[in-house]
């Protein structure tokens, strides 16, 4: 795939991840109104943190995409892609520990079983969390493709330096001989 198309796909993939996380945010916010649960607040805070990190990743992906445009600046693209990769790695870690961990899923099930009003909410949130996995996996794959494309471009860039001596040959004439010639002419 062409370099620009791969980086465009990264932006699209991050946008899909944003859509999935945003849908999960709406689901988490749609909790029973007459009751409170610390789990719901904790999930919402964790998700907002992930979405903030995603915003940074998307900004870096856009900068990387602009850098591979015309004229390409592969060093700038590499730096922006590095930031995007770091942010995405943080998103994966936060998602694994704060949303999809065994403990969190177990707490969701427990909340639904203990408080019947929370049962539909817990099931829907669990489904929403699961629906975020595919966009995460796709983004990870596209990030790897971006690195591969960038590495291939770096491997094909070659600079050759050739030293050629260029100069002028300056010959100094005897000043007296020139003056003698000038006197003969007059």
* pLDDT, greater one: 57 or 182: 57
Q: In a 3-state reduction of DSSP, which class is residue 103?
A: helix
69 belongs to a structural domain: yes
Instruction: Work out how many domains the chain is built from and give that number.
Output: 1
Whether residue 12 is contained in a domain is answered as yes
Residue 80 lies in a domain: yes
- pLDDT tens readout for residues 114-168: 999 999 999 999 999 999 999 999 999 999 999 999 998 876 654 545 555 666 6
Query: Which among 20, 38, 41 is positioned nearest to 29, based on CA atoms?
Result: 41
C-alpha span between 175 and 186 (Å, rounded): 17
Percent of the residues in the chain that have a pLDDT greater than 70, as a whole number? 82
DSSP letters for 47-61:
HHHHHHHHHHHHHHH
- In degrees and rounded to multiples of 5, residue 72 shows phi and psi of -70, 140
What pTM, to 2 d.p., does this model score? 0.79
In a domain, 167, yes or no: no
Q: Radius of gyration over alpha carbons of the chain, in Å? A: 32
The domain in which residue 25 lies consists of 3-161
Residue 166 domain flag: no
* Residues 124, 118: Cα–Cα separation, whole Å: 10
Question: Which CATH number is 153's domain given?
Answer: 1.20.120
Q: C-alpha distances in angstroms, 165 versus 162, 169, 170, 174?
A: 10, 12, 15, 28
Give a yes or no: residue 173 inside a domain: no
pLDDT tens sequence across 59-109: 999 999 999 998 989 999 999 999 999 999 999 999 999 999 999 999 999
Q: Domain for residue 83, yes or no?
A: yes
pLDDT for 30-52, tens place per residue? 998 888 899 999 999 999 999 99
Q: Give the pLDDT of residue 153.
A: 83
Burial class (CB in 10 A: 0-12, 13-18, 19+), 106: exposed
- Residue 185 is assigned to a structural domain of this protein: no
């Amino acid at each position: 795939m062409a370099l620009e198309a791969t980086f465009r796909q990264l932006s699209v993939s991050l946008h899909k991840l944003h859509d999935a996380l945003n849908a999960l945010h709406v689901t988490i916010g749609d909790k029973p109104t007459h009751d409170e649960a610390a789990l719901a607040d904790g999930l919402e805070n964790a998700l907002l943190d992930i979405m903030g990190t995603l915003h940074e990743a998307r900004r870096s992906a856009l900068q990387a995409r602009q850098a591979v445009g015309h004229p390409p600046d592969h060093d700038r693209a590499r730096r922006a892609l590095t930031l995007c990769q770091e942010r995405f790695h943080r998103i994966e870690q936060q998602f694994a520990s704060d949303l999809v961990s065994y403990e969190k899923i177990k707490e969701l099930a427990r909340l639904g079983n203990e408080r019947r009003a929370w049962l539909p909410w817990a099931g829907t949130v669990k489904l929403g969390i699961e629906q975020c996995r595919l966009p995460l996996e796709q983004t990870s794959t596209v990030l790897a493709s971006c690195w591969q494309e960038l590495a291939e471009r770096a491997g094909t860039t070659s600079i050759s330096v050739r030293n050629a001596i260029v100069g002028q040959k300056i010959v100094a004439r005897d000043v007296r001989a020139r003056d003698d010639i000038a006197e003969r002419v007059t």
